[in-house]
Each structure stands twice: as structure tokens, then as C-alpha cells.
A and B are shown apart, each in its own frame.
Chain A
Amino acid sequence: SAVISQKPSRDICQRGTSLTIQCQVDSQVTMMFWYRQQPGQSLTLIATANQGSEATYESGFVIDKFPISRPNLTFSTLTVSNMSPEDSSIYLCSVTKSGRMNTEAFFGQGTRLTVV
């Protein structure tokens, strides 16, 4: 399994500011992903965090708005830049580990962001 720690767990931010969310895993993982869950909606993948290189963004998400870092195999950050109320969501970090058995995706508890 993998234990994921996300910080902060929640925050209330002023529009126009930026927030950096941290994702720390207790062991080395193969893949790290960032998802967004808007109020009352499902999860949408923002990007795949690649170790030592630029993240791979999904359609509709850009690096200038959601810069991502992944300096090693256990840590990643997602920044939500120049926030507006539409950015109010839960942001979740997810990781997968390849092993002898089937691979499973694990999720952090999420960061609940409110932009006012």
C-alpha cells in the first residue's frame, strides 16, 4: 500500500493569490497524478507529475495555471495560480506502485480549497 499525506487539508484563499499543495508518499511510487473534484462533481485529471521533467497536462489544463513539480519519487507539489472562485475544488493527489501483484491507485485525503 501507500500512505499519502497532503498539505494543507483545507484553505481559504483570496482571489488573485496562489496556493501550493504538497503530496508526500511514504514509499517510492511509479506514477503520481493530480485530480480536481469540483463541488458535487466527479474527479478530473489535471496532470501526470513526471519525476525530473515537465508534467503532462490533460486537455483544458495548462502549466501556467497549475505548475507541478516532482523532484523525486516520493514528493510532488501542485500550485493553483492566480486563483478565482471557479478554482474552489478539492484537489487530490494519487499514486500508483508497480509491484509483483496488480497495480492499484491510492489517493490522498485531498485539499479542500475555497477561493473568496
Chain B
Amino acid sequence: AQSVTQLGSHVSVSEGALVLLRCNYSSSVPPYLFWYVQYPNQGLQLLLKYTSAATLVKGINGFEAEFKKSETSFHLTKPSAHMSDAAEYFCAVSDYQGGKLIFGQGTELSVKP
């Protein structure tokens, strides 16, 4: 069975500061990993995905994530936070591309001016 754990339900950073959202996964097969963002009253938008190619994945809006198999982690980072980054972020795992997604609990990111 697969599972995802996101450490920290709420993260607050200052504008311009580093954003780090943590995600650890459990999977019995090589995983496909995803980060989604959800703005208030909207659906989910894909930020980036890991599909067994490069371990450092770059996504939209300046976000990137690094797949670390030894640590079973897929943390999301952004060097400099912007006010528009305030949203809910979900890490998700799947056992194959196009398959069902198992989501983490979500992390709400707040950005202070």
C-alpha cells in the first residue's frame, strides 16, 4: 500500500524567504510523486511531478522538488516566497502514471509581507 505524510499542516514564511514543504512517502513499488496547489475555492493545479527521470524536478512558479529514495522524501522548495504563493499544497503518490492518487494531508502556506 502507498501513503504520503506531509509534515506541518501550516507553514508561515515571510515574503522573499525560502519555502520548504515536507513530504515523505511509502511505496512498495517505484513511486510516481506529485505536488499540487489548491487556491481558495478552486480545483487542483499540478506544480510538478517525479516520474523516475531526473531526481531534481522543476515545476511552475519557481517551485522545485528533489526525490530522495534513501530518505523516501519529496520535499517542495522555492527560493523566494511571493504573496501569491499562499495556498494549500498537496503531495501525492501513485504507483503508475495515470493511476489513482494517494494524497497527503495538505500544508497550508501563509506568506507574510
A96 to B97, CA, bound (A): 9
Stretch at the interface among A13-21, A69-77, A105-113: A105-113
Stretch at the interface among B23-31, B74-82, B100-108: B100-108
Size band of the A side of the interface? 20 to 34
B43 touching A92, Cβ below 8 Å: yes
Known A-B contacts A41-B105, A43-B90; A31 and B46 likewise in contact (beta carbons under 8 Å): no
B103 touching A109, Cβ below 8 Å: no
Closest B residue to A48 by CB, please name it: B100
Partner of B98, one of A31, A41, A58: A31
Query: Is chain B's interface secondary structure helix, strand, loop, or mixed overall?
Result: loop
| Shortest Cβ gap from A58 to chain B (Å) | 8
Is B42 in contact with chain A by the CB < 8 A criterion? yes
Contacts A4-B43, A41-B105, A108-B43 known; 6 new A-B pairs at CB < 8 A:
A43-B90, A43-B101, A45-B101, A98-B97, A109-B42, A110-B43
Is A104 in contact with chain B by the CB < 8 A criterion? yes
| Residue contacts A-B, CB under 8 angstroms, 28 given | A30-B98, A31-B99, A33-B101, A41-B105, A41-B106, A42-B90, A43-B101, A43-B103, A44-B103, A45-B101, A48-B100, A58-B100, A96-B98, A96-B99, A97-B98, A98-B98, A103-B97, A103-B98, A104-B46, A104-B49, A105-B46, A105-B98, A105-B101, A106-B46, A107-B43, A109-B42, A110-B43, A112-B41
Binding site for B on A (CB under 8 A): 4, 30-31, 33, 41-45, 48, 58, 92, 94, 96-98, 102-110, 112
Most-contacted residue by chain A among B42, B44, B103 (CB, 10 A): B44
